[in-house]
């Protein structure tokens, strides 16, 4: 799963990308090629599990992040189309908005949303014509495609994003095949200045209000500070946070929001060697979750022995969890719950 960071040029996307990836990726400043890296997902629950089940290693879940080149202001259709092509390939969008100077943040959000809708409208007009020609030749699948695409065209013509409409699973799969950008889930990031870490500015408020209008959420982050924190040793990091009156880096809040916008949930495996977080599609079955660890575990799945991490926090150890009747044995039809701690039994 990929999250694409988008925004106008100069809004701090690449700085945020460096914060998310802990400066592990050499960035190409000013390039029209995206920067791609892996972001570890800060997770307070993972750290708490390790307090009760001390491991040799602590391994967070990860997500792939794509720093898409900034949308140029008046840069011409060719460069704009090049940027938009990258957006088409990601699973979810994180729109970074400049909230540290006198820019009109609400206008920037509206402008980007309108650009995505307009681009999708151009795509769907061609797609409807092509599907209609195939339908006239008796292609049954094409007839279904026409019905969906005509609805998409109607929605876009009314300047509404595709993501805010109700679609069934088959329709969503069709939409994904066309790469419609306004169909992708979106998260807004109010990138504030170092003097407004709490996000009390009118610009940050405007971004949060715009998120409600779009049917999504917003997160306030100072990308510059988060980037600096990500480069520090743990001891220095704690000291800096304390001096600024910050309990935890905001990047953890952003990571959690990215998980939500990607439609992911988290389960854990815990033992003496490692305590590890795993990201899965929300509602995935126990065998599907097992498959994220290894395909052999999914293939030979017998059952999942699990409990919720909250049970561990309350009862302190797995022995007490079992004695309290909180240790569950789940079969192939079990839908994993966010926060499950699991041991998979399998045979191959």
pLDDT at 79: 61
Average pLDDT of the segment spanning 18-40: 85
For residues 181 and 77, the model is more confident at 181
Report the DSSP pairing between strands 301-308 and 340-346: antiparallel
Q: Residue 131's pLDDT band (boundaries 50, 70, 90)?
A: confident
Alpha-carbon gap, residue 222 to 31, rounded angstroms: 23
pLDDT at 197: 82
Q: Residue 52's pLDDT band (boundaries 50, 70, 90)?
A: very high
Q: Where are the domains of the chain?
A: 283-346
- Side-by-side strand order, sheet with 62-67: 35-40, 62-67, 2-6, 92-98, 186-191, 218-221
Task: Return the top range by mean pLDDT from 5-14, 15-24, 51-60, 86-95.
Answer: 51-60
Q: Residue 124's pLDDT band (boundaries 50, 70, 90)?
A: very high
Closest CA to 326 of 61, 28, 316: 316
Domain covering 283-346 in this structure, CATH number: 3.10.20.30
pTM of the model as a whole:
0.88
Average pLDDT of the segment spanning 271-300: 96
Q: Residue 135's pLDDT band (boundaries 50, 70, 90)?
A: confident
Q: Residue 194's pLDDT band (boundaries 50, 70, 90)?
A: confident
Instruction: Please write the tens of the pLDDT for every residue from 263-272.
Output: 899 999 999 9
């Amino acid at each position: 799963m990929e999250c694409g960071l988008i925004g106008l040029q100069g809004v701090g996307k690449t700085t945020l990308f460096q914060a998310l990836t802990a400066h592990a990726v050499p960035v190409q400043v000013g390039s029209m090629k995206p920067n791609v890296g892996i972001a570890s997902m800060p997770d307070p629950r993972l750290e708490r599990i390790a307090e009760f089940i001390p491991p040799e290693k602590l391994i967070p879940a990860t997500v792939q992040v794509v720093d898409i080149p900034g949308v140029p202001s008046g840069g011409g259709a060719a460069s704009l189309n090049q940027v938009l092509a990258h957006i088409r390939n990601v699973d979810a969008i994180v729109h970074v908005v400049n909230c540290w100077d006198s820019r009109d943040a609400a206008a920037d959000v509206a402008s980007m949303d309108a650009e995505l809708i307009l681009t999708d409208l151009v795509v769907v007009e061609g797609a409807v014509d092509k599907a209609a020609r195939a339908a006239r030749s008796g292609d049954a699948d094409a007839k279904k495609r026409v019905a969906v695409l005509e609805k998409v065209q109607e929605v876009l013509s009314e300047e509404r994003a595709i993501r805010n409409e109700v679609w069934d699973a088959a329709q969503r799969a069709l939409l994904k095949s066309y790469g419609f950008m306004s169909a992708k889930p979106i998260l807004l990031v109010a990138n504030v200045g170092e003097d407004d870490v709490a996000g009390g500015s009118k610009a940050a408020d405007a971004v949060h209000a715009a998120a409600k209008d779009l049917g999504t959420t917003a997160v306030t982050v100072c990308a510059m500070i988060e980037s600096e924190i990500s480069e520090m040793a743990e001891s220095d990091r704690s000291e800096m946070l304390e001096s600024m009156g910050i309990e935890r880096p905001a990047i953890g809040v952003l990571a959690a929001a990215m998980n939500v916008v990607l439609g992911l949930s988290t389960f854990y495996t815990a033992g003496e060697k490692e305590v590890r977080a795993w990201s899965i599609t929300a509602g995935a079955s126990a065998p599907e979750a097992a498959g994220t660890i290894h395909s052999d575990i999914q293939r030979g799945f017998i059952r999942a022995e699990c409990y919720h991490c909250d049970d561990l926090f309350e009862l302190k150890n797995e022995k007490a969890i079992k004695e309290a009747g909180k240790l569950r044995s789940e079969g192939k039809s079990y839908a994993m719950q966010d926060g499950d701690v699991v041991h998979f039994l399998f045979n191959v």
